[in-house]
A and B are shown apart, each in its own frame.
Chain A
Amino acid sequence: MNKSKFSYSNLIYVILLILVLVWTLLPVYWTITAAFKSRLEVIAWPPTFFPQKPTLNWFVSVWTDRPNINYYINSIVASIGSTIIALALGIPSAYGCARYTFRGRQDVLFTILTFRFLPPATVIVPLYLIGRMFHLIDTTLYLAILYGAINVPIVTWVLLSYFKEIPVELEESYQLDGYTLFGAFRKVTLPLARPGIVAVSMLIMAFSFGDFLIASILTTSPAAKTLPVGISEYMGGEWGYMWNQMAALTIYGLIPLLIIFFLVRKNLVRGLTFGAVK
């Protein structure tokens, strides 16, 4: 790894860096400024780079005009709930498939993977009917259940590699010391696999937080509606596209995930190799 010293290749790298950053951040910047502009200024021509009269009005009004705070909380609850469910189901199955070879192991793994490519649009109607039967419509519980189900495959597949990487001998040595299998698992395997667990948890949270289709069909009221649904409610009505409010809500929605990402960033480095780098 070279420390920076001036050379043409470094200059190129800096230019590329700037390009990448601009490309990544321009839409984010645009979202942020849209949340500060007035309704008319958002659609001004030529577009303005800096809001002429920045206002915090939208950041406040999205909380008071509509029950977005409920939507926000529901999103967070559903995300956390689904992460817990997916981990609770995926970790054992990943461990089982990693440690033990049994007949049908490949099939089990592939079957779990097949659930990954189920387009939500194909199951949403039956899920609505089932939900109605069990009185699950309009509950964050149902969202957590379904998001959890959708994300079990990725937990299994990612942690599969991790668990395989952790040598069985470590667990066995703990077991010799008197720990049960489960105890050894908790003491040594889980901590070593922590980066992977953290990484998939981030992915699950990002997915659950941002899902729109399932939430829009299966929720009806502020008791369970999520933030993406809340954002969608700002378009298509009598006022057309309410850019400012949508931008403000998008920014609000970004913050929790960004904070969590920041907190766990060190873990992610090891975590996202999918355990596949030897």
Chain B
Amino acid sequence: MSEPKKVGRRTFLNYAIAVVATGVIVGAATYFAAPKAVETVTAPGTTVTTTKTVTTTVTGTPTTSPTTSPTTSPTAVPWEIYFPRADRILSEWELKWTGWGAKYLTKTDWVRSIDWGKIKPRFSGETVTMACEGVDISAPQTFKPAFEGLTGATLQLFGIPTETFHEKLMAEFTSGAGRYDTAELFGAWAQDYFPYMTDIRPFATQYGIDLRDIHPVFRMMNTGPNGELLGLVEDADLHVFIVRKNLLEKAGLDVPKTWDEVLEACKVLKPIGEKEGWYPWIIYFCAKGFLTFWYWENIALQFKDVTLTRPDSWEPNFIGDEEGGVRALEIIKELLKYSPPGNINNTYELGREQWLAGLGAMATSHQCWPRQSFDPGLSKISPLTTDNIIEIHPYPQGTTRREPCNWTTTYLGIPKTSKKQELAFLWSVVMCSQESSLLMGSHGTGVESGFVSVISNPEVWKGQPAYKAVWESAWTAATEPFVYIPEAYAIEEAAGAEIYRYLEGSVASAKEALKNAEDKVRSILQKAGYLEAGKKPPPYTVEEFCKLHNEVNPKP
């Protein structure tokens, strides 16, 4: 019994040792071969832009964007080769689709207006760091070479998972270690970061940058109480209404403008869709909790009696004096009947997947859906490869029109603890200037431009069709007031769970569900002390914001 067993054990041990040894060797090799993987995610030795997007053409071969090619035009400055430009950033099909080539789309662009010749000698050889939210850091990576070429400095990117991003940043900023010179800050938690961020207005003045080109909607969440601007805007997103026009036309319908028209259109489309294998509507997200709340409030804001809090206090107002909130909730329940089964539990990615697979005729979403719908490698309904016609319109209205702008701004903050603040500012300029943001929007990184000069430019609409609708809607924008306090998530989660009960049928009346939601939120606000006399939320419509800061609200 012992002989064969001994051999068996030895062979097993041999195998195990071999495996472990291989693993150790490979691991060590990778560790030393790649640059500190903690800090950058680019492959070793790469300095050119090879944005590894996952778009593929329909035939299955991958397309990567072209590498930076040094084309100089005769009248340009020597560093012109680094300027972000369409042909240097976009992929082949995007260039074909937009018709853009080696030309600049914007008339004013901060990057092109700066004299980099004076800057490079000052900053050459220095290093600046950035904390990026999530793992998809293709947006900052796209502009890293441009920045490094223009300044001679090195940029290090740290990708941090979304779940722990907020906490990690807070720990970092409060400890004063100065590890990050700039960080991608989500507008929803903007207030938490305020005390630690540098006001960039002096830098802007120094470099002749006019911050007012950023639409006030996208400055609402990163403007401090005294008008300080705490970072340039990287991502400026709003909600739009996307339709497959061909399906509506076949049914003899116009594009709906109000929610009532949306429901009527759904009713007409339903039997047609059943035959052809699609549904009239796709719910962007609705899963139990905060997602339900977001979806509901976007529609509820279209009813003028619903302001989510009472004027001049934090007291919740979900039902509305004319029961607009109730109507909004009932609309969602109706929409569920016209959506693919199971949409009641949709999350971002599921809704998007269904839309891109062609399961729906209409939907409301952020601007990423429109852009991705055109991508022939991602979308089964791309107008470039099928005979679908995709149009983007402003959000459907109720008794009023308010563009929902909740959670839609990401800005680049520069911590006070940073020792490279000016360099960090220059990096944020490179990434967030007019041309750069425009290109990011057209490149499908999910990051959108928020400049007035960009979104109002019809030439730009070719590459990001949603901008037209955004430009028409932005001046009416309103957000949820709770985004300005740290209890936001808990409030949205609790209220969302209550609202969900009506949608799933365990509560019979929408009004009752909303009343329960109001009660839950009221108790959270009370425990946190917001219901004391004299406390009220900061301005949460762009109109109020502009009034407060003596600005003009840009209108189309």
Q: Give chain A's interface residues, CB within 8 Å of chain B.
A: 38-41, 43-45, 53, 55, 57, 61, 64-67, 69-70, 73, 76-77, 80, 132, 191, 194, 198, 216-217, 220-223, 229, 233, 235-242, 245, 256, 260, 263-264, 266-267
Contacts and interface: CB of A to CB of B under 8 A. Distances in A.
A220 B168 contact: yes
A187 to B, nearest CB: 10
A242 B54 contact: yes
A220 B348 contact: no
A216 B347 CA distance: 19
A126 B26 CA distance: 34
B277 interface: yes
Contact of B9 (A45, A194, A238): A194
A64 B444 CA distance: 20
B114 interface: no
B62 interface: yes
Contact of A53 (B38, B59, B62): B59
Nearest to B59: A53
Interface stretch (B67-75, B157-165, B453-461): B157-165
A38 B43 contact: no
A238 B60 contact: no
A75 B115 CA distance: 49
Contact of A64 (B2, B12, B52): B52
B62 A61 contact: yes
B378 A237 contact: no
B380 A216 contact: no
Which size bracket describes the interface of B in this complex? 35 or more
Given A66-B41, A237-B136, 14 more contacts: A38-B58, A40-B377, A43-B353, A57-B60, A67-B41, A73-B26, A191-B9, A194-B5, A220-B161, A220-B168, A237-B135, A238-B446, A239-B136, A267-B8
B20 A80 contact: yes
Main secondary structure of the interface of A (DSSP, over half): helix
A231 to B, nearest CB: 12
B105 interface: no
B30 interface: yes
Contacts of A220: 160-161, 164, 168
Contacts of B15: 263
A209 B457 CA distance: 51
Given A57-B60, A191-B9, A240 B356 contact: yes
B30 A69 contact: yes
B272 interface: no
- Kindly list the 5 A-B residue pairs having the minimum CB-CB distance in the complex, ordered from nearest: A238-B446, A38-B60, A222-B37, A73-B27, A240-B352
B277 to A, nearest CB: 7
Contacts of B446: 237-238
B185 interface: no
Given A73-B27, A217-B163, A222-B37, A240 B349 contact: yes
A223 B445 CA distance: 26
Interface in B188-244: none
Contacts of B171: 132
B121 interface: no
Given A61-B62, A194-B9, A220-B161, A238 B56 contact: no
B271 interface: no
Contacts of B159: 221
B63 to A, nearest CB: 11
Contact of B136 (A69, A229, A238, A266): A238
B352 A77 contact: no
Interface string B460-503: 00000000000000000000000000000000000000000000
A118 B158 CA distance: 33
A275 to B, nearest CB: 17
B135 A76 contact: no
B440 to A, nearest CB: 11
B23 interface: yes
A43 B379 CA distance: 10
A73 B29 CA distance: 11
Contacts of B23: 73, 76-77, 80
A87 to B, nearest CB: 13
Given A38-B60, A61-B52, A238 B164 contact: no
Contacts of B37: 67, 70, 221-223
Contact of B161 (A38, A40, A216, A256): A216
A80 B347 CA distance: 35
Contacts of A260: 19
21 contacts: A40-B377, A40-B378, A40-B380, A43-B357, A43-B380, A53-B59, A64-B52, A65-B52, A67-B41, A70-B34, A73-B27, A217-B163, A220-B164, A237-B349, A238-B446, A239-B54, A239-B378, A241-B350, A245-B54, A260-B19, A264-B12
